[in-house]
Structure 1
Amino acid sequence: MALENNSSDWMWLKLLCLTIITALIFEHSQFDIHISELFYTNGQWLIQKGAQPYAFIFYDAPKALLILLALYLITVLIIKYRQPSNNVSIIKNRSINQFMVPFSVREISYLLIILIVVPSTVALLKSVTHVSCPNHLTLFGGDLPYLNIWQNITAKTDSKCFPAAHASAGFSLYGLAFLPSLHKYRYRIFTVVTVLGWTMGLYKMSFGDHFFSHTLVSMLLSLTTTCTFASFLFKKATIYEGRNIESNTLIS
């Protein structure tokens, strides 16, 4: 049990190292170019930026739903904080409680932190890296050269395309997989969120707003962030649960 706890505690560091290595290896590679070429034929991207109904389905709708989710969680958190704990109040507020997620205050707070921190971290990195989008490059009809991360940071162009921000909003839902209440569903959640994030990422790739590596790094960075916060916020609960399991084993 102790070994499992130690391995879990350091998982965030392993993910961080993997994210950095992936960024350095894939961000400036022929692999990225070859994938983008699949979306770019005869001087045209697969779809035009802002073309409907794609923009609504893959950009506007997911963004709006994630904002509504954050507002809903904030509302639930406020209600839970202000709700008295006595039995009479619980009975009176039963009609309200049926519309609230069955998560603890700690879990809801964690989800809110993740929904804010993940996109904010990506946005901060975008402003520092200055990496160009594929549609900005001469390789794909633009007017900028294809540079690596360090060259882009030094050049300080107006480009802000790495990592992928839109996809990171979807990947921020990885936080659900780390909730103790949803532990038994974590693999299903991971699969669904991965599909959602990559769908949002592929939409942006289809008109040259991102390379493959931009979305890949965004996914790993989101996973690193969610794992890091979960390691600290749910550590005590995990240790307590582990001790209970060990105690029950000894008794039996």
Structure 2
Amino acid sequence: MALLIEVFGVDLYFAKQFYQLEGSQWILRDNFWTKSILHDTLKNILLSVYLLIIFWYFIQSSMNKKQNIFFKLAIFNVLLVVLAVSFLKQTTNVSCPWSLSMFGGDLEYHGTFKFFQTNQYLGQCFPGGHVSSVYSFLGFYFYAKLFAANKAKFLLSAILIAGLMLDISQQLRGAHFFSHNLWTLIIAWLSSLSLTMYATSKIANKT
């Protein structure tokens, strides 16, 4: 799906709609709500939540051995996803919409997976970094599926809604194309699922 979005020009379509909606400029790029609140402040809040989860884990005594394993993997997954996305951003050389000439910047558009066709520096905008701070918590959804099934759907909905909110906010700023954040969701989902399946397999082999 993420590949089809680029093939059929969905990224450019949405970016053009947002750009025109803002009067052919990214007026929300440094807006108080999109920049200060939904980007800077929320990033700090999510970091605080992550640290509080780690703190709670070390002081709690209610988990059994199996729960401990999966919860530690969920904690580790947050770090893994954020670092993986950060690494990809630094190595893929993909522009943000706001850097492109068609949107007021000075760079020509290259498809997300055509970055290797140029030696020109284009940017560090793929995959979406900001949404990784939300989607990286998907590991806790997989934990909930195993040990708190009644809370799993709520947790998944909360993560996806929060991620979509940040996704739209970043698109409105001209910081990312739609597919940039979709790829981050895919990376986070596969990472969370893989760790859960690995741990499940290891535990099953020991019993």
Alignment TM class, shorter chain as reference: 0.7 to 0.9
What is the correspondence of 1:72-91 to structure 2 with a 5 Å cutoff? 72-79=52-59
* Pairing 1:162–2:126 present: yes
- The amino acid of 1:182's aligned partner reads A
Give the RMSD, CA atoms, in angstroms.
2.5
Identity of aligned residues (%): 25
C-alpha change, 1:28 and 1:137, in structure 2 (3 Å) is farther
Unpaired runs of at least 5, structure 2: none
Distance 1:207 1:74 in 2: 32
CA deviation vs aligned residue, 1:196-241 (integer Å, no higher than 9, x gap): 111111111101100011111111111111111111123355x59x
Which residue of structure 1 aligns with residue 89 of structure 2? 126
Matched residue, 1:109: 72
Return the letter of the residue paired with 2:185. Answer: M
Cα distance in 1 for residues equivalent to 2:93 and 2:164: 22
| Paired AA for residue 70 in structure 1 | Y
Q: Do 1:176 and 1:182's aligned partners in 2 also have CA atoms closer than 8 Å?
A: no
Q: In structure 1, what is the Cα distance between the partners aligned to 2:132 and 2:99?
A: 21
Asked if the contact 2:167/2:181 (under 8 Å) is kept, the reply is: yes
C-alpha distance 44-226 of structure 1, shift in aligned 2 (>3 A): same
Segments of structure 1 that go 5 or more residues without pairing to the other structure are 1-21, 84-96, 244-252
Tell me if structure 1 keeps the 8 A contact 2:127–2:183: yes
Q: Partners in 2 of 1:144 and 1:164 — Cα distance? A: 19
**2:184 matched residue in structure 1:** 218
Contact 2:70 2:196 in 1 (8 A): no
Q: 2:165 aligns to what? A: 199
- Offset of 1:150 from its aligned partner? 4.2
Kindly name which structure, 1 or 2, has the bigger radius of gyration based on alpha carbons.
1
- Cα distance in 1, alignment partners of residues 99 and 140 from structure 2: 35
Tell me if structure 1 keeps the 8 A contact 2:19–2:103: yes
Number of residue equivalences: 199
Aligned match of 1:247: none
Partner of 2:24: 43
Alignment of 1:54 with 2:34, yes or no, is yes
Q: TM-score, normalised by structure 2?
A: 0.84
Which stretch of structure 1 is more off in the superposition, 69-78 or 120-129?
A: 69-78
